[in-house]
Chain A
Amino acid sequence: MYILKYKELIKNLVISDLKTKYANSIMGFAWSMLTPLLMMLIMYFVFNNVFRFTQEHYALYLLIGVTGWRFFANGTSTAMVSIIGKSSLVTKIYIPREILTLSVVISAFISSFLEFLVLIPLLLIFGASFSLTILLFPVLQVIYFMIIYGLALMLASLYVYHRDLGHIWEVILQIGFFLSPIVYPVSLIPEKYKFYYMLNPITRLIEMYRDVLLFNLIPGFIDFLLTIVSGIILFALGSWLFKRLSRRFAENI
C-alpha cells in the first residue's frame, strides 16, 4: 500500500502544510479559531435578532455548525489545488499522486480537530453539559474525513483539466452553506421537503456533531448508515475518477 511506503512523505507534506497555514501569520493558530468565532458572533446577532429562531443554545448551535462546515469548505477548496500546487512532484518524479491530495485533507482534518478542541471549553462556558456521547466525536470526524477525501479526489483531478471549476465550487459552497442547517434549525424546513433535505450527508453530520457535543444524544442508526454509506461511495468514486484522470496529469499541468 502506497500510504505505508510513503508515510514519511505524507507526514512531511502535512507538517509543511500546517506550518505555512499557521506559522506565516503573526497570530498563527489563533486566526483559525477567531474566524469561526467572529463568524458565529455576526450570525448570532443577525439571525438571533432578525429571524428570532427559537433554538436552544443558539450561539453554540451556530458555532458547532460553522466549525463543522469549515472542515468541509477548507478541506475541499485546498484539496482542489493540491495537484496543481505541487506540479514538480507530478511532472518530474513519480510518487502516487493521491498523496498530494491526501496530505492536504489530513491537514484540514487536523485543523478541524483542533478547532473543535478549542470549542469544548466554550461549550462549558456557555452552559452546555457533557456526557459520554462526546466519545463519538472522533468517529464522526472520521466519517466526515471519508466524505471530504472522496470529494477532494474528484475536485483535485478535475481541476487539472478544468480550471474554472474553482469558481464553480465557490458558488456551490455558498449554496451548500445555506442548504445545510448551519444558521437555522432543521425544524424550519417544510415537512414535504424534509426527506430530500436529509439526504445531504453534510446536513446529517452537522446535526450529529450537535447531538454528541451539545444535546448529549447518540445519533440515530439511520444517520450513521447514511453518512457512512455516502462516505464509502464518495471515496470509491473519487478514487476511481482520480486513478483515471491522474494518467494525464503530467502533460496537462
Chain B
Amino acid sequence: MFQIPKPKKQEQDAIIVENVSKRFRIPHEKNTRLFEHIVARLKGSSSTYEEFWAVKDVSFRVKKGETLGIIGENGSGKSTILKIIAGVLWPDSGSVKVNGRIAPFLELGVGFQPELTAEENVYLYGSIMGMNRTQIKNKIDDIFDFAELERFRNAKLKNFSSGMYARLAFSTAISTDPDIILIDEALAVGDEAFQKKCFDKINEFRGEGKTIVFVSHGMEAVKQLCERSILLNHGKMSSIGHSEKVVNDYHVDMHIKEELSLKKQHEKMNEQVAVKEVLKETAKSEKIETQVTSAQDRWGSGTVEITEVKFFAEDGSERHVFKTGEPLIVQMRYFARTKIEKPVFGIAIHRNDGVHITGPNTKSHNNVIDSIEGEGIVRYIIDSLPLLKGTYLFTAAVYDFACVNPYDHHEKRFTFKVVDGEIKDYGMLYIPCRWEYH
C-alpha cells in the first residue's frame, strides 16, 4: 500500500510585508552614557533626538519565484526595507513574513578575516550563512571554481585584491542554496566579466524559481531582471506594478523634483531682478542714472531692463523641464526708462558644459523694433525644441542697434532641462531627417 501524497498547502507568497513602518532616531547628542541618560530623563528632555520615518506604511507581497525590484532615490528607504526583510532591522509597526531560507546580500564578505586563508574564510562565511561543515565541504570546489580562485585556495585573504575578495564572497554566498535572495547593489563588484557571470547566475536563479528582491539604482537592470517593481519616495510606496511602468513613474517623479528645484533657482534669479527694480525706483527719485552692473552675470547701463524671464510650455504653464520636440516659449518682460530707438533683443543657449548652441537676436532675424518705452513683453518661441537630453543655460539681453552697448545683459542666468520625449537620440541636437535604403 502506498499513500498518494497529499499536496501540502502551498504558500503562494515568499515575502509578505504588511504596513511596515520604521522610525529612526538621530540623537542631537548621543546619550550613550547611563549618567547622561538619567540626567536627560530627569530634566524631562528625553526628546533630544530627531525622528524621521525611513519607511512609512509599506505593504507588498512577493510571490514565490518572482523577482521584485525596489527603486527610489537615495534615502528613500530601499535599503531599510531590505534590512527589515533580512531581519537586521526590526519594524516599529507592521509585520514581515518570510517563507523560506533567505540569503541577504546586503554586503559581501561580512565576517571575513584577513589572517585566515581563503578556504578557512569560506568555512567561516558559510557558517555565518547558517551552513554546517559537511554542506560547505560538498560545495567548496564549486565555490572556488565559480570564483576562479582555485589557485589561491590556501593564500591568506589579506593578500587578495578587492575584486578577488568580492568574487570569493559572492561565490560562497550563492552556494548556500537559498530560496529567497535579497540583493542590495552588491553586484557592483569585480570586473565586467565577473559582473556578467553574477548577472547570469541571478538569471539562472530566476529560472530555478527562486524569489529575488533586487534593490538598485540601475533602471535598465531593474527593467531587465524584474517582472514587478515598487517605487519608494521618502519612505512611502508611491508606485507598484510592472517594472516598465514603475521605472517610468520614477522618471516622472524625478522630473517633478527637478522642475521644482529649477523653479526655485529661477525665481531667485527673477527676485534679484526685482531688487534692482527697487534700486531703480530710488534712483529715479534721486534722478541719478544707475548702472546695473553689480552682479558678475549681469551687466548693462540699465536704461532698458529685462525685469523677468520665464519659460512656458505650449499650454501656457510655466515649466523648466521640457521634452525634445515640444514647443518652448521664453517670455521676457522689459522696462524702458526713456524712449529707446531701435533696441535689439537677443538670447543665447549654452549647454551646461559651455558649448554655445545658438545666439540669435531680433536684428539678425530682421525684426527691427522701432522704439520702446515703458513696460512690454518680448517672446522667443521655438515650435519644436531640437535639443536632446541635457541641462541648458539661457542668456537674455537687450542692446543698442549697433549691438555694442548693453542696456541689460543676463549671462546664462536661467537654467532649463531637456529630457527624453518621443525622440531619444544620442548627442545634443535632433536634426529632422529621413532614411532611405535599397
Contacts and interface: CB of A to CB of B under 8 A. Distances in A.
A164 B34 contact: yes
Interface string B30-66: 0011110100000000000000000000000000000
Q: Which of A16, A91, A92, A94 has the most CB of B within 10 A?
A: A94
Interface in B116-165: 123-124, 126-133, 136
Contacts of A164: 32-35
B127 A93 contact: no
A88 interface: yes
Interface in A6-53: 6-9, 11-12, 16
Given A5-B130, A6-B127, A12-B127, A91 B33 contact: no
Nearest to A9: B127
B132 A250 contact: no
B107 interface: yes
A75 to B, nearest CB: 22
B110 interface: yes
Interface string B4-39: 000000000000000000001100000011110100
Interface in A205-253: 247-248, 250-251
Contacts of A163: 32-33
Contacts of A161: 32
Contacts of A6: 127, 130
Q: Classify chain A: how many residues form its interface, as a range.
A: 20 to 34
Interface string B80-110: 0001001111100000000000101011001
B87 A94 contact: yes
A95 B33 CA distance: 27
Given A12-B123, A162-B37, A163-B33, A92 B106 contact: yes
A95 B103 CA distance: 11
A188 interface: no
B218 interface: no
A160 B83 CA distance: 19
B89 A9 contact: no
A165 interface: yes
Nearest to A89: B111
B24 A162 contact: no
Contacts of B33: 162-164
A168 interface: yes
A13 to B, nearest CB: 9
A92 B86 CA distance: 9
A73 to B, nearest CB: 21
A165 B133 CA distance: 37
Given A162-B33, A168-B34, A247 B111 contact: no
A7 B132 CA distance: 7
Contacts of B35: 164
Nearest to A99: B128
Given A92-B107, A94-B87, A162 B32 contact: yes
B37 A89 contact: no
Interface string A152-164: 0000000001111
Contacts of B32: 161-164
Contacts of B104: 93-94
Q: Classify chain B: how many residues form its interface, as a range.
A: 20 to 34
Contacts of B102: 94
A8 B107 contact: no
Contacts of B87: 94
A101 B248 CA distance: 47
A107 to B, nearest CB: 16
B107 to A, nearest CB: 4
Nearest to B120: A12
Interface string B178-207: 000000000000000000000000000000
A8 B129 CA distance: 10
B127 A91 contact: no
Given A88-B111, A89-B110, A251-B24, A9 B130 contact: yes
A74 to B, nearest CB: 23
B132 A8 contact: yes
Given A89-B110, A95-B128, A162 B34 contact: yes
Contacts of A88: 110-111
A171 B129 CA distance: 38
Contacts of B37: 162
A12 B34 contact: no
Contacts of B106: 92-93
A43 B130 CA distance: 47
A168 B83 CA distance: 33
A93 B107 contact: yes
Nearest to B102: A94
A155 B126 CA distance: 29
Interface in A75-101: 88-95
Contacts of B113: 16
A88 B88 CA distance: 11
A93 B132 contact: no
B31 to A, nearest CB: 9
A248 B84 CA distance: 11
Interface of B: 24-25, 32-35, 37, 83, 86-90, 102, 104, 106-107, 110-111, 113, 123-124, 126-133, 136
14 contacts: A89-B111, A90-B88, A92-B106, A93-B111, A93-B128, A94-B102, A95-B130, A161-B32, A162-B34, A164-B34, A164-B35, A165-B34, A250-B83, A251-B89
Given A12-B124, A92-B106, 11 more contacts: A5-B130, A6-B130, A8-B127, A9-B128, A16-B113, A91-B88, A93-B86, A93-B104, A94-B86, A94-B87, A164-B34
Interface of A: 5-9, 11-12, 16, 88-95, 161-165, 168, 247-248, 250-251
